Structure 1
Amino acid sequence: MIFGALYFGGIAIFMGGIGFKILQKAVPDVDPLITLNQFLLYWVLGELALRFFMHQMPVMNIKPLMTLPIKRSKVIQFLLNKTIFSFFNLIGILFFIPFSAALIYFGYAPLQVAAWLLSLMGIVLCLNFINFLINKNNTYFYVIASFAVLSVLLNNYNIISFTKISESIFYALYQFPYLVVFPLLLAFILYKSNYNLLAKHFYLDGIIRKKIEKVETKDLSFMDQFGDIAPFLKNDIRMIWRNKRPKQVLFTAVFFVFYGLFFFTFEIYKDNLFFTSFASIFITGGFLLTFGQYVPSWDSEYYKLMMSQNIPYYQYLKSKWSLMVVGVLIAYVLSIPYIYFGIKIFAMISAAAVFNVGLNSFITLYGGALNRVPVELNVKASAFGNTQGFNATQLLISLPKMIGPYVIFIVPYYFIGFKAGIIALSLSGILGLVFTKFFLKFIEKTYQKGKYKTIAAFAEK
């Protein structure tokens, strides 16, 4: 993580230093500062999306202080002030400071540049505090995500120019330095909003009290035909049926079936093989990628009890794998209408489905051995609830699942042709199915090796 921070921090500084020249060469007829300001609105939306999945409030620092004779206001201020010095806030500033220095070097007014830079720092703080409000209520995220998609579509079809709107907003911060008070004032208002929200839930009984709900039962006896893995499959289906987090994952997986409509309807993406393979993996692998990445975190609340029973790890992993395979097959059936966009695109989707079943499923299960983030299944959206369970480890694990299919496809495609790429991608998945037992045994050994580390990590809530 330290090396990652140094790497991305170094890139931000380097790009900020040469950014002026890059923009000047890319759009020679436009002021580089204006060019940058045209896309800052998308930077705001993109950073909000990144923070939603990876930036969480360090609530573990606040719980031990709740039993000590320290004023509530002091503890909450400590928590909020700690978030200000997050790496997520620093990375943007590391880009804008050298870029601002370059502006001054090339003759821009120092006072106006300083006001513009201070305004952007205020906006970074706004994003910091907005993110915590989003984490407490998913409605905020859905609104922002919908606005982001809508703005891209409207701008692409020249209905509303959001680049012009972005330019008007952010370039005004440079033209009129006194406008710096608005981002800073908004950051203060959001700070107070977070403070009030935390203060409202700052009670020990609010954390430990359990909400009693009526449990619904379903007859799942038909699954007994699956043999030894049937109890695990029943447990997962009940978990999805009864709890909020798994339901959200299931809805997300359904959304991914329609993912191709975004790529296949735009000419800029339609003929791009990277985006075609990328979309194909998500269309059929939505459930695999969303549900599978939280194995074994789904069982974190009773993992210690489960590991104390005489339960073979192999059966446990095979049940998770079987459930992911069924998810891929259902998504593939639902993707049949994509034939409308051409046989080549549907062939790519079909090959990606085989790859998801034969290789991506095992890569996902293997990644679970490195995922030791507990998931609270039915957590209510509150100031002290971990509603994400997403970390940098999972992001790194996801890279081979998304890039791997493209690499397998592009090499034979480049030397032979499209059909060769499709065959190579399909054969890689079929090969994985042939060695299913071998892969599951290998993954089982990996889980057994880290068993006690996983138990200890899940106990640290």
Structure 2
Amino acid sequence: MIKHFITLEWKQFLRASYFQKGIVVKIFLILGALYFGGIALFLGVGLFFIAKKALPETDPVVTINNFIIYWFLFEILLRYFMQQLPVMNVKPLMVIPVKRDAVIHYLLGKTMLSFFNFLALFLFLPFSIVLLVNGYPVVNVVFWFLAVLFITWSINFLNFLVNKSNIGFYITAVLLLSLIGLEYYGIYAASEPIGFAFNTLYNNPYLAGVPALLLVFLYTLNFNFIKKGFYLDGVISRKIETVRTTDLSWFNRFGSVAPFIKNDIKLIWRNARPKQVLKMSVLFLFYGLVFFPQDTYKDTPAILAFASIFVTGGFLLTFGQLVPSWDSEYYKMMMSQNISYRKYLESKWYLMIFAVAISFILSTPYIYFGWEIYALIAAGASFNIGLNSFITLFGGALNRMPVELNAKAKAFSNTNGFNPTQLLIALPKMVLPMLLFYVPYKLVNYQTGILVLGLSGILGLILRNFFLRKIEIIYQKGKYKTIAAFAEKN
């Protein structure tokens, strides 16, 4: 049965409209996995010697055990943001004689192939080998290593549950930050009792059975959780909600694009996924606090230019990158109407520049760090409006992954609608403003860099009609491919 599932998914991949793009994406993902896996291997080999040099009076095994909890907490957060949970189109399987248990076991088994499960292997296997070479007891090292793997795999299945809710993320994030803060300021050394537990596990190999039992428990919990909702009635049923009407007549002043703008505002207001993205975009306003107060970055102002793009471009970068995927659920209907593609794109553009303008107003407190910083933010806002908005719309023409508007997962980790092609489109969004600022800054001075960055946005506004016309042509050419891709069930 597992062989049949693999065959079906392989055929779905080969026959999908995004097949060629998927091949390129997978090559990039494999190269990325090799790169980070190589880093983990080198770090694992040197971990013993790093620990010995940092605390020479302490056994490296004890040092690692004392701080390994931070690795596991970091891994939970990393998985929450980065790990894409496997999906499978199970509706067709529900009406044929296929055992539900087999489908669920296959789905859970796919999670074990995640790169994050191998990351701990790459890190702690070389460390364990170095321990054995240095004469540490074989049984203790082997069972300690197995315990670490069991905990890693347990985190994998824990993430499967946590990914359904924001509560687990907030608890983990607060716990990690609290432990680091308490340790850093010497209030409470959380590493001591936790380190004692891991050292006890190392000294008593039979205790490796505890994380093994935890792994079995979490697997069973996930299995029962999925099986509970694995019914055709639960899949096809729709939740009926009362919709509140909102007066949006103010937007009528935008003329023929007003209906599209009002439709997008209602979409954001009434649906879970875009509402989450809107909330997340607000966090970008605080991005400058990471860079602007630090004296380190004053010697590398190109990084400050990079930060200024994020301060005012939160909504543009998060909501804008999923145009037209936001409309995927009714895109076919829209395209069958007498609707101007130009007006459709203009409405998205107006919405993004409106959000940039609001973000710029809200960024006014950054004047505290000096007028030069605030001028840099203003130049970044100009770039976002005049150039970044068009780059984002262009990237949307290459994005044919549908979005589930009421997906319950978080905006941070919800990869529904995510296309790795967006990562390639993100490069000019990030690198171009840094170059526009850095080159004149290096050749002339800081003020000239700000001026060039700001004028680039004004130039983009002057060429607005030209950019929109070219982007419209690209959307028109890919119209039917986009409709077909949105109709696919991924």
For Structure 1 versus Structure 2, the TM-score category normalised by the shorter chain is: 0.7 to 0.9
The structural deviation recorded for 1:232 is 0.6
Q: Secondary structure at the match of 2:262?
A: helix
| Worse-superposed segment, 19-28 or 123-132 | 19-28
The structural deviation recorded for 1:149 is 4.5
- Whole-angstrom CA distance in 2 between matches of 1:187 and 1:199: 18
- Whole-angstrom CA distance in 1 between matches of 2:293 and 2:173: 19
2:92 matched to 1:64? yes
Q: Secondary structure at the match of 1:389?
A: coil
Cross-structure match for 1:444: 472
Question: Does the 8 A contact of 2:309 with 2:384 survive in 1?
Answer: yes
- Whole-angstrom CA distance in 2 between matches of 1:169 and 1:425: 55
Cross-structure match for 2:421: 393
Residue of 14, 20, 40 corresponding to 2:38: 14
Cross-structure match for 1:87: 115
The structural deviation recorded for 1:317 is 1.1
Cross-structure match for 2:53: 28
2:440 matched to 1:407? no
Cross-structure match for 1:457: 485
Q: 1:5 to 1:255 in 2, by over 3 A?
A: closer
Structure 1 or 2, whichever has the larger Rg, is 2
Whichever residue aligns with residue 246 of structure 1, its letter is P
- Whole-angstrom CA distance in 2 between matches of 1:36 and 1:261: 32
Cross-structure match for 2:463: 435
Cross-structure match for 2:147: 119
- Whole-angstrom CA distance in 2 between matches of 1:151 and 1:106: 32
Over the aligned positions, Cα root-mean-square deviation in angstroms equals 3.1
CA-to-aligned-CA distance 1:257-313 (integer Å, 9 cap, x gap) = 223334445666676646533432222111111111211111011001111122222
Q: 1:379 to 1:28 in 2, by over 3 A?
A: closer
Question: Does the 8 A contact of 1:8 with 1:91 survive in 2?
Answer: no
- Whole-angstrom CA distance in 2 between matches of 1:152 and 1:237: 40
Cross-structure match for 1:375: 403
Q: 1:61 to 1:381 in 2, by over 3 A?
A: same
Residue of 293, 303, 309 corresponding to 2:337: 309
| Worse-superposed segment, 451-460 or 338-347 | 338-347
Question: Does the 8 A contact of 1:9 with 1:94 survive in 2?
Answer: no
2:323 matched to 1:299? no
Whichever residue aligns with residue 149 of structure 2, its letter is M
Cross-structure match for 2:352: 324
Q: How many residues matched?
A: 458
- Whole-angstrom CA distance in 2 between matches of 1:42 and 1:365: 40
TM-score (norm 1): 0.87
Residue of 302, 306, 314 corresponding to 1:286: 314
- Whole-angstrom CA distance in 2 between matches of 1:389 and 1:208: 21
CA-to-aligned-CA distance 1:326-354 (integer Å, 9 cap, x gap) = 10110110010111122333232222212
2:27 matched to 1:3? yes
- Whole-angstrom CA distance in 2 between matches of 1:155 and 1:430: 49
Q: 1:184 to 1:271 in 2, by over 3 A?
A: farther
Q: How does 1:154-303 map to 2 (within 5 A)?
A: 154=182, 159=187, 174=202, 176-265=204-293, 273=301, 276-303=304-331
| Unaligned 5+ runs, structure 2 | 1-24
Question: Does the 8 A contact of 1:297 with 1:372 survive in 2?
Answer: yes
Whichever residue aligns with residue 366 of structure 1, its letter is F
Question: Does the 8 A contact of 2:45 with 2:126 survive in 1?
Answer: no
- Whole-angstrom CA distance in 2 between matches of 1:285 and 1:71: 48
TM-score (norm 2): 0.82
The structural deviation recorded for 1:211 is 1.1
Q: 1:261 to 1:434 in 2, by over 3 A?
A: same
| Worse-superposed segment, 193-202 or 429-438 | 429-438
Q: Secondary structure at the match of 2:401?
A: coil
Give percent identity, aligned residues only: 53
Q: How does 1:134-145 map to 2 (within 5 A)?
A: 134-145=162-173
Q: 1:25 to 1:117 in 2, by over 3 A?
A: closer
| Unaligned 5+ runs, structure 1 | none
Cross-structure match for 2:389: 361
Question: Does the 8 A contact of 1:371 with 1:393 survive in 2?
Answer: yes
- Whole-angstrom CA distance in 2 between matches of 1:400 and 1:333: 25
Q: 1:434 to 1:46 in 2, by over 3 A?
A: farther
Q: 1:13 to 1:72 in 2, by over 3 A?
A: closer
Question: Does the 8 A contact of 2:342 with 2:469 survive in 1?
Answer: yes
| Worse-superposed segment, 242-251 or 123-132 | 123-132
Q: 1:443 to 1:131 in 2, by over 3 A?
A: farther
Question: Does the 8 A contact of 2:88 with 2:107 survive in 1?
Answer: no
Q: 1:242 to 1:260 in 2, by over 3 A?
A: same
- Whole-angstrom CA distance in 2 between matches of 1:278 and 1:43: 29
